[in-house]
Structure 1
Amino acid sequence: MDMGLTLQAQLLPSNFTPTLLSIAYAGNNGKYEAAICAEGSLNDIDFSGKVVLCERGEDIGRIGKGKEVKRVGGAAMILMNDESSGFSLLAHVHVLPATHVSYYAGLRIKACINSTATPRATILFKGTVFRNSQSPAVKDTPEQQY
């Protein structure tokens, strides 16, 4: 991200080119449904070609949130945990380039978005990272998400 904030993606399509794109918080219109990227909720703001920050919430699956971002032309998604999920991160195959971040990283991303006139971001795939303090981790594949 522009302000020196670096986050890593778990899974990205092989044809994804890391390019700085505009980033927007889905909930900037003040609507909870938009913040969690509920189906049909992102019509009020132009997300075309942008990285969209969505919050976890309700019974809307991670994949469903990505489908909503893609439906409105979003280029990528950053999925922010809710506070109760904290640092628990899951890797999923998404319908667009996406990464899942902790609640606290999400707060930092929101702060960057709100304090920068033209916030930009990209998602980089760093491959397997060894000697990470959050290792080991196991990929989760809940059947109901697909």
Structure 2
Amino acid sequence: MREREIVVLRLLRDEFPLCSRPFLEMACRANRGLCRPRTVYFEVIGPGNRRRAVVARHKVRPLSERDVIAATTDLVRRGQVRRICGVFARGYDHVPGSVSWRIVRELEAGLPLVAEPYREVARRVGITQDELFAWIRRLRQAGCLRRLGAVVGPPVRRSQTH
């Protein structure tokens, strides 16, 4: 397993970011995690004014959004991560509204591994991304959605792949 996959796997164990570019947010978190004072400076560039200096511990190339998506795809392909999805509480049959049931089904199925996964889910459901974020927050407040994150599976051994 490459270093970037190890970093991404650690990040995936946390709550998945609820923002328009979650993989970019994960790259920023990873690059901050590699930080230690007074070494090599890199700059993380994101949409809008998300430009900031980052200090790296070693002479490593900082992770980009594309690197995080590629590492996540590799982890899914090898079975170490099953999918990134919503983990719902038992008995969440009290979900309000028909739109929310479609959201629940999409989140249970897993987020697509693209730069803007929430926008893709919102498109499938037929709402805007901001409306999806509002619904996810409501589901959390109602106690239906326990967490939004990766379902981690056991690593696939080489003998199992042949």
Q: Is this a same-fold pair by TM over 0.5?
A: no
Give TM-score, length-normalised by structure 2.
Answer: 0.22
Higher-helix-fraction structure: 2
Give TM-score, length-normalised by structure 1.
Answer: 0.24
Q: Which protein shows a greater Rg?
A: 2
